[in-house]
């Protein structure tokens, strides 16, 4: 493949990546732990924090652990969603996807 063909492929890849980034920004992923629910978007930005069980607010240690755990779960889920979306794009470009 010539230089112009490679540049065309890179342009297509960049265009698809931007499209996926926009989709991820609109994708919401939630996770719960001990009465705390955290929602992140596909770009791993926190969208909301909700206390489903207000008794967790009475115990700062438990609250901190619940927030940390819910956040980590939400981020892991969002990473899996992002990886799955990117896999479909990368698979279409020789040398970038799974072989």
Per-residue pLDDT reduced to its tens digit, 47-58: 999 999 999 999
Is 98 a domain residue? no
Domain enclosing residue 76, as ranges: 3-90
Q: CA 86: distance to chain centroid?
A: 11
- Give the total number of structural domains in the chain: 1
What is the per-residue pLDDT across 20-46, written as a single tens digit (0 to 9) for each?
Answer: 889 899 999 999 999 999 999 998 999
CA–CA separation, 23 vs 48, rounded Å?
A: 18
| Sequence-separated (6 or more) residues with CB below 8 Å from residue 96 | 13, 90
Q: Is residue 96 part of a domain?
A: no
d(CA 6, CA 66): 48
Cα–Cα distances in angstroms (integers) from residue 3 to residues 24, 93, 94, in the given order: 31, 15, 15
CATH code assigned at 79: 3.30.1310.10
């Amino acid at each position: 493949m010539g230089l112009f063909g490679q540049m065309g492929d890179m342009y297509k890849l960049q265009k698809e990546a931007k499209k996926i980034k926009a989709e991820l920004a609109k994708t919401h992923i939630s996770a719960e732990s001990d009465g705390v629910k955290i929602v992140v978007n596909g770009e791993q930005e926190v969208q909301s924090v909700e206390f489903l069980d207000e008794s967790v607010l009475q115990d700062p240690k438990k609250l901190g652990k619940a927030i940390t755990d819910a956040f980590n779960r939400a981020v892991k889920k969002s990473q899996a969603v992002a990886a799955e979306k990117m896999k479909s794009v990368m698979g279409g470009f020789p040398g970038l996807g799974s072989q």
